[in-house]
Structure formats: structure tokens, C-alpha cells
Amino acid sequence: MARSANAIRVHDPKLEKLEADALDQHTIEPALAGVDAVIQTLGVSPTPELIFNGTRLFSAATRVLVNAMEGSPVRRLICVTGLGAGDSRGRGGLLYDATLWLFLGRIYADKDAQEWIIRQSRLDWTIVRPTVLTTAPRTGAYRVLVDARDWRSGFISRADVADFLVQQIKDASLFRKSPVLSG
């Protein structure tokens, strides 16, 4: 499901594209029918307006999704936030942390709220925090860092993040955990 799902260039007979708004409860509820898991990957473009004013998209859409999921049989939620959200704040290294909070601090404040909503839910959640995203191809050679002492900035391809997300659908080893992904 995406606002511009029809523009997605991936085609597969097993892929159903639903063009919808993540804030619309009436769209979310029926979209959960027959679903085993939900992978939530919300994003915004860091425009000057968002940098200065922030956003509530992450927390609002997550509240809608969690409410819908708790009213359905679907229990598995895998959500992408980022290194610097929640209890990973201040763990990326001096340059990463300073840059993140200078330019994306208000956006990440909403990701903090998003993570809190998920943690308070009754769902089988995993919060995934990739480091700096790249457009490089999938390598399969990325690190899944669960211990906070290992968290630090790095780079990871979007394709490697997608690889990890799909693996989590049936993997219960990271239920109620928030790993950092780095290449």
C-alpha cells in the first residue's frame, strides 16, 4: 500500500498494489484481510518546511495501523524508523548525531513517538533502524546489531534493508527488539 502504488516498478503475480493513504483507517482495516504480517516503511522528503516544523505522519499513521491491527487477527508488525530514533538517540557517533538532529531533529521526534506507540501495543513487533541508506545493490552482507554497545552510524543499501525486512516476516528471534542495520 502506498500513495502512489501504481508507480511502483516491481511486478510479480504475488504482489498486490493498493493505492491508499496510511492515515485512512477505513482503507487500512480492509487491507489487513488475509495478511500474515505488516511491514511499515513510511518516509518523508526533508523539505525546509518539515525541517523547521516537523511532522506527525509517522506517529499518526502508526496509531491508525496499530489500532487496526489490534482489532484484527494480524499480530506481526515490522516497522522501519532509523538510527537515532527512540533509545538509539545519540548512538550514531558525533558527526552523525549532530547532523541528524540539526537537520532532522523534528522529524525524528515524531519517529520517537512512532516507536513509543509500537512498544505500547500488544503486537509482535520489530522496529528496524537502518543507518544511512544508499541505492547500492543487495549484498546480503549486512550486520544486524541488537546490542546498543554496537550501535554506530554506517551505510546500508535499501535493497539489503528490504532483504532483512522480508526475512523478519517468519523469524520470531527479533520479536520486541529494535536492531540497527549497517552494511
- With 90 as the cut, is the pLDDT of residue 46 above it? no
The count of structural domains within the chain is 1
**How far apart are the C-alpha atoms of 74 and 67, rounded to whole Å?**
11
Per-residue model confidence as pLDDT tens digits over 69-124: 999 999 999 999 999 999 999 999 999 999 999 999 999 999 999 999 999 999 99
Can you tell me which residue has the cell 511491514?
39
Cβ-contact 178, 125 below 8 angstroms:
no
Domain housing 70: 5-182
Averaged pLDDT for residues 38-65: 95
Lookup result for grid cell 522480508 = 166
Q: Name residue 2's beta-bridge partners.
A: 19
**Torsion angle of the four alpha carbons 61, 75, 25, 129, in this order, in degrees rounded to the nearest 10:** 10
Closest-CA residue to 122 (of 72, 53, 61, 48): 72
Interval 138-182: pLDDT, tens: 999 999 999 999 999 999 999 999 999 999 999 999 999 999 999
pLDDT at 16: 87
Q: What CATH number has the domain bearing residue 121?
A: 3.40.50.720
Would you say 48 and 74 are in contact if contact means Cβ atoms under 8 Å apart?
A: no
Q: What pLDDT is attached to residue 14?
A: 83
